[in-house]
Amino acid sequence: MALSKEKNIGIFGGSFDPPHKGHLIIAQQVIKKIKLNKLFWLVAKKNPFKKRTHFSLIKRMKLSKNLVKNERKIIVKFLDNQIKSSRTINNIMYLIKKNKNSKFFLIIGSDNLINFHKWKSWKKIIKITTLVVYPRNKFENRAKRSIISRYLSNKNVIFIKSKKIDISSSKLRKNYLKLVS
């Protein structure tokens, strides 16, 4: 029996409130640069560091699926109900169990790297995945000096070099709310 070749799998999680072209560009760039076989776009019920979401989970799932409909390597999922948790570590463990012989890459923005040490089981996350950090305006230098950056070895983190994408979900929400009010 031939051994199956290891696959590279990306995990791109967030509340995606709402998802936008910037998220898609990030996913596309990481797929290309890291040579991912597939990327799980995981929509969370809510961000544990924010009070609420503005769009319903159903709406965010629909918008995400529509945004990536032409991307054969991107799979939109909501795992919170299946695994009874919205924690990143639990999502990763579930995907590892379902995808044997795979190497996992957790995709986060440089803004999230700054507070990554506050995430549940962050030390375990960096043992079982490679962090892929994409630049976010005003956060890149702070991220590289953050507690977690000093803790990581070069093999545990990849800083993606790309143009900063000047689109944010919060700006989109504000514009949307102006239109509908």
State yes or no: pLDDT of 60 exceeds 70. yes
Q: Does 146 map to a domain? A: yes
Q: Does 29 map to a domain? A: yes
Q: Which pair of structure tokens corresponds to residue 88? A: 């990143």
Report, as an integer, the average pLDDT of 70-95.
Answer: 93
Q: Does 1 map to a domain? A: no
Give percent of the chain above pLDDT 90.
52
How many structural domains are present in the chain? 1
Q: What CATH number is associated with residue 33?
A: 3.40.50.620
Q: Does 79 map to a domain? A: yes
CB under 8 Å to 130, separation ≥6 — which residues? 103, 104, 105, 106, 155, 156, 157, 158
pLDDT value of residue 89:
96
Q: Is 59 exposed, middle or buried (0-12, 13-18, 19+ CB in 10 A)?
A: middle
Domain that holds residue 66: 7-180
Q: Does 87 map to a domain? A: yes
Q: How far apart are CA 42 and CA 12, in angstroms?
A: 6
